[in-house]
Chains A and B, each alone.
Chain A
Amino acid sequence: NAGVTQTPKFQVLKTGQSMTLQCAQDMNHEYMSWYRQDPGMGLRLIHYSVGAGITDQGEVPNGYNVSRSTTEDFPLRLLSAAPSQTSVYFCASSRKRGGQETQYFGPGTRLLVL
């Protein structure tokens, strides 16, 4: 199993550009989520999904869209990038929701918005 994969590893955007951060898992996990990590901060939840076709907002959803058309993929879309979205983005998945399930994290995508 590849686990949780994220592409790209690093991206530079100009303000106002759009892009999609890709996340995929091959473990047939129901639950997937996106976090952002800023300097001096822990990870903060952006959006999550408890299954194909079901998504919901986390702590910091503004400026981001998600969809979950398949169990495997959970892309994160930035419609109009802003410098405040400069961050490291992590995707995570677990078999089901809840703390009893181990969450597996991807390697992260570093995004720089100029």
Chain B
Amino acid sequence: AQTVTQSQPEMSVQEAETVTLSCTYDTSENNYYLFWYKQPPSRQMILVIRQEAYKQQNATENRFSVNFQKAAKSFSLKISDSQLGDTAMYFCAFIPWAGAGSYQLTFGKGTKLSVIP
């Protein structure tokens, strides 16, 4: 079974600063996908960024980037130039490659990020 651990229940960052959210996972799979989802107060789940395990290059999406360390099973999210709209819960999630037969997204417990003006 896969597990996803987010060790920071809450974090805060000053507007325009950079913050890094941590995520570690445990799996015996070699091929899989990792995600960061954002959940603002509206409760809508929004995909922020996705990383394929077979790709060594770290994924980036505008101000969001990841540091993917496959051997260490670590997948952190860096938010640059933080904005007030980044205030939300952030969930790290894992899913095995489709051929492994499991279709379940496994989520961490989340990190509540507050951006301070």
Contacts and interface: CB of A to CB of B under 8 A. Distances in A.
Interface of A: 31, 33, 35, 40-45, 48, 50, 58-59, 88, 90, 92, 96-100, 102-103, 105, 107-108
A5 to B, nearest CB: 12
B91 interface: yes
Contacts of A42: 4, 91, 93, 106-110
Contacts, number: 62
A100 B33 contact: yes
A105 B33 contact: no
Nearest to A45: B104
B62 to A, nearest CB: 17
Interface residues of B, number: 27
B3 to A, nearest CB: 11
A2 to B, nearest CB: 14
A49 B110 CA distance: 26
Nearest to A97: B103
A48 B91 contact: no
B97 A88 contact: no
Given A43-B105, A48-B103, A100 B45 contact: no
A35 B43 CA distance: 13
B4 A99 contact: no
Nearest to A107: B44
B103 A31 contact: yes
Given A42-B4, A43-B107, A98 B91 contact: no
Contact of A103 (B42, B91, B105): B105
B47 interface: yes
Given A40-B109, A102-B47, A59 B33 contact: no
Contact of B98 (A35, A58, A98, A108): A98
